[in-house]
Chain A
């Protein structure tokens, strides 16, 4: 059977330029991080948190210089003054200006939070990465050690260390405080990183890269690290409020930073002391600041987690 179709040019239509471009990708493809940022921006609560963090960071630097008072300048003529036009947040029981002290406290709290998170990050990534890349036996031993360290109650050790390193009646230096906090707190990060490395090591694209001749270092640099960055970032964001909270608790127990340096925890502790007399602003203001910081970092961390979660991608 022969099926012949006679073709002549009139049967054809000229393709226009428009048709040819139909399949073309017009917009530039959105890269990973801009995409994350785009989704983060849609999360209003996270943006509120981010804005608050930016404002507080800036104010913690400049806020102490806005009025003419120094954080340790005492004025016995003006003790326990409620907030007014001269002392915007009032004065404490030694007549020190609370506006300056609260912003300084915020500065200390933020520094402690960020530094503790940074140290946790470095130790956690190195330890977790090594553990994940190491042989099964080494990995197992490293993880057991980490588990033992982590089951040592965190704040108990922080408290013990501050007892050891602080002198009678005075507080702890910031260095000791941060050291004590990071001593056990790097473990969740290490466990997270190890889990990620193990998972990604077995992933198809790592295998593909390996079969194409990628070395171990290349795979680590090109595939594993970029893909773990998301969860790590979320973890860092959530470590900061934890450290700030720990410092505030210590300060509240009288084991925080050495006076006259104010931390938000110390300030709340001082505020609690005068509360029975009916003075509330002294505890209310630092308490509000701690809560705002905790709130901001927590919602930002949550927002980041959601933005990074591919399952939530629309």
Chain B
């Protein structure tokens, strides 16, 4: 197990390094210079700007410097904002995004498998149809449309739910829900099919014939086994939530990291784009690592040293 952990850790580090490298060289391959939008400037000013961002040095040297800085946790200065560094913006935006993301994940994890399990237990009855209609809606309707619908039909009619912005917990309600819909739907569908499969297994019949109460059979034998595939998609779910947050933050006008990211793209703020991308990648890789660990503890059948062959 230790061997697996080390291997997995090494892979994560390689991934992060790959992201840093790709991001760095892609950003430096952008044609034109990043200050073009500022208009004509005296050569001295231009030279000083180049110097400030280290752009006067050879590319390879810049790369080494950047890598070193990122290792120290320093993403450098923003190219557009004169008051905040990239780190400041991440510090300001990330807690906001993380809160929305965590709430959405919680909603999805609680309601997704529950709906799926209900659907399987009442196959072809009302709960089944209800959950599956909800699941199909969740999968078909992208989060940006879901968000717009929520604003239009809920926020505009219910006085205590704000249309957008940030502040109280009420502001987080609709964005979290809109963000949660798609993962919730995926989990519900997955849970339903795996639950149906588990319910047909012999050990369920054995448990039932031993006279164990229905709720114990369902909770201890069925759900516990059926939830494994759901746990295995947690990693993908988290990365989908991350991308979904860009869109959701744009619609609801939430000052999170996602909105910084999208703004940095339209502003062509290269250091901010690099910084947020790499930060996202690190967070994501760390979360994926955690999910893998969790899966290992939940499912003792997985022999992690094997290559799967």
Q: Which residues of A contact B (CB under 8 A)?
A: 136, 139-140, 143-144, 147-149, 151-157, 159-161, 163-164, 168, 195, 198, 245, 248-249, 252-255, 268, 272, 275, 280, 283, 287, 290-292, 294-295, 298-299
**B140:A168 contact, CB within 8 angstroms:** no
> Smallest Cβ distance from B154 to chain A, in angstroms?
15
With A152-B22, A249-B247 as known contacts, state yes or no: A294 contacts B277, CB within 8 Å. no
B260 interface residue (CB < 8 Å to A): no
> Once bound together, how far apart are the Cα atoms of A61 and B69, in whole Å?
52
**B18:A152 contact, CB within 8 angstroms:** yes
> Smallest Cβ distance from B286 to chain A, in angstroms?
11
B118 interface residue (CB < 8 Å to A): no
> Once bound together, how far apart are the Cα atoms of A5 and B299, in whole Å?
68
**A155:B243 contact, CB within 8 angstroms:** yes
Query: B268-288 vs A: 1/0 string, CB under 8 Å?
Result: 100001000100110011001
**B247:A154 contact, CB within 8 angstroms:** no
**A248:B142 contact, CB within 8 angstroms:** yes
Which chain B residues border A149 with CB–CB below 8 Å? 18
With A163-B273, A249-B247, A291-B140 as known contacts, state yes or no: A156 contacts B280, CB within 8 Å. yes
Give the contacting residue for A160; candidates B23, B32, B139, B243; CB below 8 A. B23
> Once bound together, how far apart are the Cα atoms of A295 and B29, in whole Å?
38
Q: Number of contacts between A and B (CB, 8 Å)? A: 116
**B307:A140 contact, CB within 8 angstroms:** yes
Mostly, the A contact residues are helix
What would 12 A/B residue contacts be, using CB atoms closer than 8 Å? A136-B309, A139-B309, A151-B15, A156-B277, A156-B281, A164-B30, A168-B37, A195-B308, A249-B246, A253-B265, A268-B145, A275-B148
B262 interface residue (CB < 8 Å to A): yes
**B145:A290 contact, CB within 8 angstroms:** yes
Query: B253-268 vs A: 1/0 string, CB under 8 Å?
Result: 0000000001001101
Which chain B residues border A292 with CB–CB below 8 Å? 140
> Once bound together, how far apart are the Cα atoms of A252 and B243, in whole Å?
12
> Once bound together, how far apart are the Cα atoms of A149 and B15, in whole Å?
8
> Once bound together, how far apart are the Cα atoms of A143 and B309, in whole Å?
12
**A153:B284 contact, CB within 8 angstroms:** yes
> Smallest Cβ distance from A29 to chain B, in angstroms?
28
> Smallest Cβ distance from B293 to chain A, in angstroms?
15
